[in-house]
Amino acid sequence: MPSLKKVVGKKQNQLLNKMLDRSIGPEIFSFSPFKLKKAETHILENGSPIHFIVSGTQPILRLEFIFPAGTWFEPSNGLSYLASKMILEGTQNRSAKDIANHIALFGAFIETQQGYENLNITLYVLEKHLDEILPLIDEIFTKSIYIETELANLKTLTSQSLKVSKEKNQFLASVNFRKVLFGENHPYGRQYWEKDIESVDRNQLIEFANSFINWNKCEFFVSGQFSISNVSSSINKFIEGSTSRFTETKFPKIDFVSSDTNLFLVERPTSLQSCIKYGCLTINRNNPDYIGLLILNEILGGFFGSRLMKNIREDKGYTYGIHSNVQTLMKSSYFVISTEVKKENTKDTLTEIEKEIETLKTNLISDQELKTVTSYMFGRFMNSINSPFALMDKFKTIYYSGLGYDYYDSFNYKLMNITPSDIKVLANKYFDHNNFSKVVIGAL
């Protein structure tokens, strides 16, 4: 009978030999249904919704203050962005340095993020220090003064950053692609420039903040390890003095008109590369085909082993990387393929992209390739729910899409049951060359 040492040694050698043979792919395991820890929603004393996920082992929480103060609600370009940056730059009682020092004193961290729809202010703090930090948060929301000198500095930095960005093909391609899809006057198609930044004054910032960045517009998302009753009580202390109850902000109706051209070219003779954006408007999460479209996207260009990567990077050597994704927004979505190639390969790259799309429309994908992609997507999803903060992000995804947790049940079911025929049907339904727009920055 062989010794345990010999058996282990033999297994190690077999494993080593397999690891060294790069032609042998990793073993694919079957996956089973999963259940996410669900958020719990309460209503605070002023009527504001507060959403909780209690999970994890460390006594730290992430408290998100989310306001309807994104690009969609700004009366002039760049106003929402500047407001998000200026809100931490000083109050009636504290300078920006004082604010930063007070937060650091308790080992906390605060950041702001401005998007198309919302403005997020996120606080990471130990629960035991929450009562020490919240008075400062209240001061930031109610007593920020948008100091003229700080605003001037921010305008200068933002304008300099824009000048640098405009030299990058990737930046210009993204800006123009959104403009082609939505029009330059739509919140999803607009881009602030230096002249927009310079035209914003302090009074506009104050008026915008008073309208949108206050307790009566705030929605709360709390995740981590904490006591729900303690956190609710702490927040209620600061909103009970609000002059009015929470009021939900309705999105103003804004129509958009896509460009009537399917090719937008910006010639840059001195550029060695061309940046390509290729795509179209598409469906949102509430469409029953959406999850299938995500799988279709993954096959085409969603991960390193995708068809576009194998063809245009590995086989043709036109690029270091090419990828596709479905960009989902609250009021719309779009599909886009992105890459940068040598200028002389621009036309050939576009041809190969169209070939790969046409192949998905005419030929059935193999069971093995489909299984590889869905297993990869399942593994990536499971890796994306490994913390209480990530679980809250998953809740926000469905919350702002008007969906319930059954969306994730459908996601799991579709991964396990989608067929090659389903993929072909979806490709023909959503990949119509007549609907695609091409933006090229460089040369064609």
Average pLDDT for 278-296: 97
Catalogue all structural domains in the chain, each as residue range(s) with its CATH number: 40-239 (3.30.830.10), 263-442 (3.30.830.10)
| pLDDT computed for residue 248 by the predictor | 84
Mean pLDDT, residues 406-418 taken together: 95
**pLDDT attached to residue 263:** 87
Give the rounded distance of the alpha carbon of 213 from its chain centre: 22
pLDDT in tens, 134-143: 999 999 998 9
Check residue 191 and give its pLDDT: 95
**Given CA atoms 239, 241, 247, 251 in this order, what sign does their dihedral have?**
negative
Q: What is d(CA 33, CA 382) in angstroms, rounded to the nearest whole number?
A: 11
User: With pLDDT > 70 as the criterion, what percentage of the chain qualifies?
Assistant: 92
Phi-psi region of 340 (alpha: psi -120 to 50; beta: other; left: phi over 0): beta
pLDDT band at 253 (very low <50, low <70, confident <90, very high): confident
Contact at 8 Å (CB) between 219 and 49? yes
Question: Is there a contact between 296 and 242 (Cβ–Cβ < 8 Å)?
Answer: no
Q: 202-206, 237-241, 337-341: lowest mean pLDDT where?
A: 237-241
Average pLDDT over residues 197-202: 96
Give the pLDDT score at 30. Answer: 63
Which phi and psi angles does 285 have, rounded to 5°? Answer: -60, -30
- pLDDT-derived band at 113 (thresholds 50, 70, 90) equals very high
Determine the pLDDT at residue 7: 46
The token pair at 430 is: 């959503």
Burial pattern 293-332, b for ≥16 Cβ within 10 A else e, equals: bbbbbbbbbbbeebbbbebbbeeeebbeebbbbbebbbbb
pLDDT averaged over every residue in the chain: 91
| pLDDT in the model for residue 239 | 80
Q: How far is the first Cα of the chain from the last one, in angstroms, to the nearest whole number?
A: 70
- Beta pairing, strands 49-54 & 219-224: parallel
Q: Which two tokens stand for residue 169?
A: 């093909």
**pLDDT above 80: residue 196:** yes
More confident residue, 412 or 26: 412
Q: Between 38 and 9, where is the model more confident? A: 38
Residues 302-325: tens digit of each pLDDT: 999 999 999 999 999 999 999 999
